[in-house]
Amino acid sequence: MSITVKLINGTSKEVSVPDFNVSVADLKKLTADVIEIPADEQRVVLRGKVLKDADILTACGMESGCVVHIVKSKKKTTEAEAPKPTTAPPPAQAPSVPASTPSAEANPYAALSGWGNAGATNNAAPNINPGGFGGMPQMDMQQTMQMMQDPFTQQMMQEISRNPELLRQMMQMNPQTANMPPEMMQMAMQMMQNPQMMQMMMGMANGGAAPGAGAGGFGAGMGNNAQSGGFPPFNPAAFAPPPPQGNPREIYREQLQQLREMGFPNEDANIAALQQSQGNLSFAIERLFSA
């Protein structure tokens, strides 16, 4: 007896299942070596439903010859593993965060794709804008903080911190950033690989403030420039590409087909998830699961 396991990269694997009167957790152990995904990072999807570890295969309707999809989910992290900001404690009174704007809710990537507006009118270096890829909206610090606190955005940043190459892949999938100069791509990759940068980003995601002048070494000199209307404060999410232009049904044709095969029939919801994730199928599935 066996089942066919389909992965999001398009490959299929045959997995032998001696007994279907076992739990999903047991199935994950059987598939771990075959698909090379640790059991604790697997999400088993059958007909659009995520199966729980305690579920029994026969009770879920799984039988020999059926097809299941397994998605690699982010590994659960403990509080001790969370990045700890090196900056001074934030003020007792945290600034209020305005309600989400429709555009921000629709696409957290696009909302995070600009530099802050602080000092924009008196920018001493208006032509030097490594974050301005053209056509990208600008955000003030409150909007940036709001988006950094979005759970989906936090997950994206955590994945990029573990795998900076993911940022390159997302940019290359987008026609607006695929032809970005190599030096700009390299700058983005270096920033994402900088531990202090990631600490600052995750500190913002957890409600902290961005480091000011001299904080942690990395932010030295940045605060004075921002306050004096010089170079705007660095927005690490400025390198998130804008959504691709065109018919999303054509742009995401292959991903939509895979989602339909996985049991997600709502095409509008699938398109929205793919747009929010810049076509990254793993992130889109996570978005659909959390909807």
Per residue in 229-286, pLDDT (tens digit) is: 443 444 444 444 555 667 888 888 888 888 887 778 788 988 988 888 778 777 788 7
* Calpha distance 3→273 (Å, rounded): 28
Q: Which residues pair with 13 in a beta bridge?
A: 5
Q: What pLDDT, on a 0 to 100 scale, did the predictor assign at position 281?
A: 78
Q: What is the spatial distance between Cα 267 and Cα 257, in angstroms, rounded to a whole number?
A: 10
Sign of CA pseudo-dihedral 54, 55, 58, 64: negative
Residue 281 token pair: 């199928």
For the chain, the straight-line distance linking the first and the last C-alpha, in angstroms and rounded, comes to 35
- Binned at pLDDT 50, 70 and 90, residue 223 comes out as very low
Spatial neighbors of 180 by CB under 8 A, at least 6 apart, are 133, 171
Highest mean pLDDT among 45-49, 76-80, 106-110: 45-49
Q: What is the pLDDT of residue 76?
A: 54
Residue type, 158: Q
User: Which residues 6+ apart lie within 8 Å of 80 measured at CB?
Assistant: none
The pTM assigned to this predicted structure is 0.41
What is the spatial distance between Cα 260 and Cα 44, in angstroms, rounded to a whole number? 15
Nearest to 231 by CA among 241, 216, 221: 221
222 confidence band (pLDDT: 50, 70, 90): very low
Which residue reads 């955590």 in tokens?
158
Query: Which among 137, 132, 141 is positioned nearest to 102, based on CA atoms?
Result: 137
Q: How far apart are CA 229 and CA 227, in angstroms?
A: 6
Task: Please state the rounded mean pLDDT for residues 41-48.
Answer: 84
Give the closest residue to 113 by CA, choosing from 97, 128, 129, 133.
133
Residue 109: pLDDT above 50? no
- Per-residue burial over 139-177, b if 16 or more Cβ lie within 10 Å, else e, is bebebbbbbbebebbbbbbbbbbeebebbbebbeebebb
Architecture of domain 248-290: Orthogonal Bundle (1.10)
Contact present, 93 and 201 (Cβ < 8 Å): no
Q: At what angle do helices 141-148 and 195-205 cross, to 10 degrees?
A: 90
- Dihedral sign computed on CA atoms, order 108, 109, 115, 121: negative
Domain range annotation of the chain? 2-72, 147-204, 248-290
Per the document, the length of the chain is 291
Q: What is the pLDDT of residues 133-166, one digit of tens each?
A: 344 444 455 655 666 666 666 666 666 666 666 6
The Cβ-side half-sphere exposure at 237, using a 13 Å CA radius, reads 34
Q: Over the Cα atoms of the chain, what is R_g?
A: 21
Fold that domain 2-72 belongs to in CATH: Ubiquitin-like (UB roll) (3.10.20)
Closest CA to 252 of 222, 272, 232: 272
